[in-house]
Structure 1
């Protein structure tokens, strides 16, 4: 009974406090695509991705009912950095769902306005947001009615300046004036208490936040669950970080307090890696409960640390390296230039490969695909009314005789010619073999197993078309080792040896995609076919141990794709990354990629996608 009454009380007091309307809530995943398109259409940086923002405590004065209900303690301001436009994961600030949706679109437009050419770099948040607001309303007048509605709804929720203490009143009045007349406030007056968050501004609470916190660096977010676990990902959280000093304790086992007094996950752990390396299943939930994560610089030498990255295998277990390595350039978007000979690519071939037949489980699918691809071969046909040919065109001869008998001018095109058409196509398949492919998609297969099956079926199906094709794979370990696996070259047959090299593939390392695309493009560009398709199989974003993670890797990959198109190639990406729609349009264009929701369908769908591309 107490629990029931408590739930009723919580629901009633929360609704009475206001400021949150769950029935009118709009989630970021519902408008993420629209907001991203609007941001880029208005001139925003196309390389930025849209993601969920961080929730932080604002410390502002709250209404009495909000204090009683324990609500309205945190806010989720939208922010813009070099790699990400972060918007609130949910907006339920207004009782009208249309207003909540308009707030998402306004924040996207405001972010784009701040990136317009000629926008002055402004350090003061208030002046920066006012300037962006004026620019947005001037460039896109159609936003003005929405902006006015949002301002009126937002001001109605803010505390009345007359109800505030005298020391806080000038700041609140200045914020209201800046919203109603953007550009009219040069600076906000100081206040002993932070002002309430300004929802219509980017990265602003109406005051400087407590503590010099900043969003954490972007980390790779790879969905490494199986197909039964590949559900819609929940809204990802960014975290606020603070810089702290490195603890001096060398042994984390000595506790100067009672262990039972620890009720939550610590914000910092001095890692002494134990033998039991099982992941903590509650770590994510515990991290989400923290307002800040602590970062510290470790003064120890790298050689004395426990290494968490991937060590290279021994020479006896490693792939066979072909040659001394190939220097390749890499695009640095921060400098806006191509760094010549910045990457070294090593061509390799699996060492443990042995001649193999097609696995029995794939035989039936291979026969069906072979029949379907055989239908792609153009049939020969007779062309009538030709000046020369193998046989006489009886219809043309009769018409010519009739024309001659009636005094007309008979034609000389009296023969049938047998036309023989041939497909003039070449394709190179480039498969991602990074360590992320070692995850399971079912109880019996990993991503790497699905990729192997896809390559085997693709090679078998291509034998029915006669198209020239090559099969390759890649992985990387920093810029000094981009490993390019040659599974089948253009001049080789798809035989037992090629199947053995595919079956011997092992996942490892990371995904430096730009260098692999450049080398694959150079091989494909040498083919004499009139149409050349570069088919890329990937399961996630470009990443590596160095700065290649995040925006850097995406921009280098995009430049490599642009270079491939200049060579006359047709790049196309097939991915099982369910977040691919957030960055693949920037890389390949809206029609240059396909996302396969169920990874186990990749072997069957890959040949069919190629058939659609080359039909």
Structure 2
């Protein structure tokens, strides 16, 4: 009974002490479909993805009711780092939902025009506000409404002490007239946070950012994917493992529980270990301290080494030591001979026929794609033909009036059959993440295998020249590039046997794989050369090839491919792809397959649409 009454009391006092308006709350998930597009359209860094941040302590005075309820210590504000723009996971600052949604859009505009990131907090936000309003004058009325509503909610300067009153007056002036405040002096306590501005001291990692040893990325519909959607950026530091001299004894005073933090050594070496209370505990911490324990991680290192196949059991190496460059976006330069690629082929791939389950869809695809072997093309400005070319006739009449003579003008349109002049290279991601399951019925690697088999059947029916390759990596000196079908090889049971032996690899150093695939495709003399990339996640590897670094190197590889006259296009089953693929391939250079099980049907039909006008 006491617990029940205590629970009701806790809910009541917490709800009473809360400063916001829960009924008008707007979540980041509600605007997530438009947030990245809006941010980039306003001029924001296209390499930044949009994610929920985390609440941080603000240090400002709290009301008596907040202190009693134990709330109001933290607040969520907007901030950005090298890879991500972090926005509050939810906003209930204003009493109307429309106002809170406008606040989200304003924060996106402000972050897109953060022109003085190194300036003091109040100067930086005034400069960003002025830049945003100058570039986007249509936002000015909305900004003034947000400022007016916010000032009504903030404490009045006359009710504060001397220094705190002066600080609040300066904030009000900076909000009302951006650029009018150049000097700012806080009182004993920091001022109340300003939801319309960027974070004064955003969370940063104070330790080195070493990568975790997992190559798996969450799959759509999984519990892991849902958890990642709700994950927030946390302030972290890397520390040395403390010595637990007396692990069975912790000395503390009971009355100091709220002000002391004790170290408890917990062995958490594996990702498979789960703790249902871990997320709640992390939310209560200001800083997460991460340390390496050699004793606890040795088993994981041995396990990883054992997973590497011996040379006798590995695929055959066709070419070793192919050196490729890599783009370092931090230094803004291309590092020559930075990656080493191995061309490989399956060692024990036996020829085999098409699986029975794929024969019916393969037959339908062959019938559909045989119609693409030749197509009728309308040729304009011909000397003879079945129809008049209206545009050519108008140009000829205008030239005649102007006195311009044209000998034997082509005034007709003719229709003729032409052979398709196309070469396509499909590059498949074979990283360890493809070992995940789809709808508890098949693994991703099996879906990719079936997709490649049906893709091969369809393209063999058209007569188009095509090649199939796969890739994975283990750091920059071991990029594994698997030959599945070369341009000069006939699609037969031998190729099907190679596809049947596909297995998950390691990591995803995508930039190096794209560069080598582009070099192969660039040797073809076709008028149209299509580079299809099939993947299920972001570029990543064990070393620094993670986050913004991997994305920028991949983007540079794609730009290089376009300069060679190739047409890169990406097919992905990653639900989070909308955050980074527009930066890599452009708004129309990729497609997201939301149901991975549909990939075998989607891939051939997508190819038909991409090449229908060739």
TM-score, length-scaled by structure 1: 0.84
User: Could you tell me how far apart the structure 2 residues matched to 1:309 and 1:129 are?
Assistant: 50
Q: Secondary structure at the residue paired with 1:62?
A: coil
| 1:550-589 → structure 2 map (5 Å cutoff) | 550-589=547-586
User: Could you tell me how far apart the structure 1 residues matched to 2:47 and 2:453 are?
Assistant: 35
Label 1:101 to 1:140 Cα distance change in 2 as closer, same or farther (>3 A).
same
User: Could you tell me how far apart the structure 2 residues matched to 1:217 and 1:149 are?
Assistant: 41
Label 1:484 to 1:302 Cα distance change in 2 as closer, same or farther (>3 A).
farther
User: Could you tell me how far apart the structure 2 residues matched to 1:291 and 1:536 are?
Assistant: 41
Cα drift, residue 477 of structure 1: 0.7
Cα drift, residue 198 of structure 1: 1.1
Equivalent position of 2:140 in the other structure: 144
1:317 aligns with 2:313: yes
Equivalent position of 1:457 in the other structure: 454
| 1:468 counterpart (465, 470, 481) | 465
Tell me how large the CA RMSD over aligned residues is. Answer: 3.7
User: Could you tell me how far apart the structure 2 residues matched to 1:529 and 1:229 are?
Assistant: 45
| 1:591 counterpart (588, 592, 597) | 588
Label 1:227 to 1:29 Cα distance change in 2 as closer, same or farther (>3 A).
closer
Q: Could you tell me whether the CA contact under 8 Å between 1:512 and 1:553 is conserved in 2? A: yes
1:224 aligns with 2:221: no
User: Could you tell me how far apart the structure 2 residues matched to 1:3 and 1:488 are?
Assistant: 67
Q: Could you tell me whether the CA contact under 8 Å between 2:219 and 2:225 is conserved in 1? A: no
1:524 aligns with 2:521: yes
Cα drift, residue 302 of structure 1: 13
Label 1:472 to 1:68 Cα distance change in 2 as closer, same or farther (>3 A).
same
User: Could you tell me how far apart the structure 2 residues matched to 1:281 and 1:496 are?
Assistant: 48
Query: Is there any run of 5+ residues in structure 1 with no aligned partner, and where?
Result: 394-416
Cα drift, residue 268 of structure 1: 6.9
Equivalent position of 1:159 in the other structure: 155
Which stretch has the larger CA shift, 523-532 or 26-35? Answer: 26-35
1:255 aligns with 2:251: no
Label 1:170 to 1:239 Cα distance change in 2 as closer, same or farther (>3 A).
same
Label 1:50 to 1:381 Cα distance change in 2 as closer, same or farther (>3 A).
closer
Cα drift, residue 244 of structure 1: 4.3
Q: Could you tell me whether the CA contact under 8 Å between 2:315 and 2:346 is conserved in 1? A: yes
1:126 aligns with 2:122: yes
Deviations 1:395-422 (A, max 9, x none): xxxxxxxxxxxxxxxxxxxxxx995421
Q: Could you tell me whether the CA contact under 8 Å between 1:322 and 1:349 is conserved in 2? A: yes
Q: Could you tell me whether the CA contact under 8 Å between 1:103 and 1:200 is conserved in 2? A: yes
User: Could you tell me how far apart the structure 1 residues matched to 2:157 and 2:375 are?
Assistant: 82
Equivalent position of 1:400 in the other structure: none
Equivalent position of 2:232 in the other structure: 237
Equivalent position of 1:111 in the other structure: 111
Equivalent position of 2:409 in the other structure: none
Cα drift, residue 126 of structure 1: 1.7
Q: Could you tell me whether the CA contact under 8 Å between 1:110 and 1:133 is conserved in 2? A: yes
Equivalent position of 1:444 in the other structure: 441
User: Could you tell me how far apart the structure 2 residues matched to 1:509 and 1:554 are?
Assistant: 18
| 1:478-497 → structure 2 map (5 Å cutoff) | 478-497=475-494
User: Could you tell me how far apart the structure 2 residues matched to 1:216 and 1:63 are?
Assistant: 38
| 1:292 counterpart (269, 282, 286) | 286
Deviations 1:172-222 (A, max 9, x none): 222222222222322322322232211111112xxx68x987699697996
Q: Could you tell me whether the CA contact under 8 Å between 1:227 and 1:600 is conserved in 2? A: no
User: Could you tell me how far apart the structure 2 residues matched to 1:472 and 1:443 are?
Assistant: 27
Q: Could you tell me whether the CA contact under 8 Å between 1:215 and 1:239 is conserved in 2? A: no
TM-score, length-scaled by structure 2: 0.84
| 2:374 counterpart (370, 375, 378) | 378
| 1:1-400 → structure 2 map (5 Å cutoff) | 13=13, 16-17=16-17, 19-114=19-114, 119-120=115-116, 122-204=118-200, 223-225=217-219, 234-242=229-237, 244-249=239-244, 254-257=247-250, 269=265, 271=267, 278-282=272-276, 284-286=278-280, 288-295=282-289, 307=301, 310-311=304-305, 312-378=308-374
Query: Is there any run of 5+ residues in structure 2 with no aligned partner, and where?
Result: 387-413
Q: Secondary structure at the residue paired with 2:322?
A: strand
Label 1:515 to 1:309 Cα distance change in 2 as closer, same or farther (>3 A).
farther
Q: Could you tell me whether the CA contact under 8 Å between 1:216 and 1:241 is conserved in 2? A: no
